[in-house]
Amino acid sequence: MTIRMPVIILCFVMLGVLAGADARGDVTGLRKWEEFSTSKDGRTLLAWTRCQMKEMLGGDRCLQRLTVSVPPCFGRHGLFVTLVRKGSVRGCYGAFSHQSSDMEATLKDYLYGALKRDARYRSVELIEAGDTRIIITITGEEHTIDDIHSVDLSRHGLVVTTSENEAYVFVPSEIKSIDHLKKRLSGKEIQQVAAFMSVTLEDDK
């Protein structure tokens, strides 16, 4: 994943259990996003994002307007857009802090980043748009953890920092297992691991 941080960020989104927000009160500040994720407005946001994706890929101009009221994100939560096609990640882009308070502009920027700026993957083409899933992840604040086994990975994502000051972000949209994470980090000297709560919005493609 490309992300606006002074370190190298890679987003590994692996197929598994969808993450949700903490149901034990609003200590993470994500309750409004949790409610939004299962609402009609949440589905409308995903439909608007898909419409924008098709236009960005050279399809018909998107005439849909983002008319729904979206919970606050700027200055509070991270935002990531992940694209998955036929079980494989095709792009991931986002940030924990944002340059603009304009949610529409920020989401468009990260969507385009997932489509075209993630150098690890071939850019998505228009013919692929129909069966490419869009996953929007809203994150809470990071907190350092001592034991990865103490974290419920169905609710948390991880930021792993190495001795070379590289940060690997595992967005909690779909995490397979701890063993898989360790395999992806094989050969890396881990300096710190942080966890964050999240809410996931995903369309039905």
pLDDT at 173: 63
- Of 136, 142, 144, the C-alpha closest to 197 is 142
Q: What pTM value is reported for the model? A: 0.82
Task: Give the model's pLDDT for residue 27.
Answer: 54
CB 29: neighbour CB atoms within 10 A?
17
The two tokens of residue 137 are 């992840």
Please, what CATH class does the domain formed by 2-202 belong to?
alpha beta
Question: Domain extents for the chain?
Answer: 2-202
Q: What is the largest CA-CA distance in the chain?
A: 49
Which amino acid is located at 62 in the chain? Answer: C
Say which residue the tokens 């998505």 belong to.
124
Query: What torsion, rounded to 10 degrees, do the Cα atoms 194, 86, 128, 66 define?
Result: -50
* pLDDT tens digit sequence for 169-190: 888 765 777 887 888 888 889 9
Q: Examine the pLDDT at 166 and tell me if it is beyond 50.
A: yes
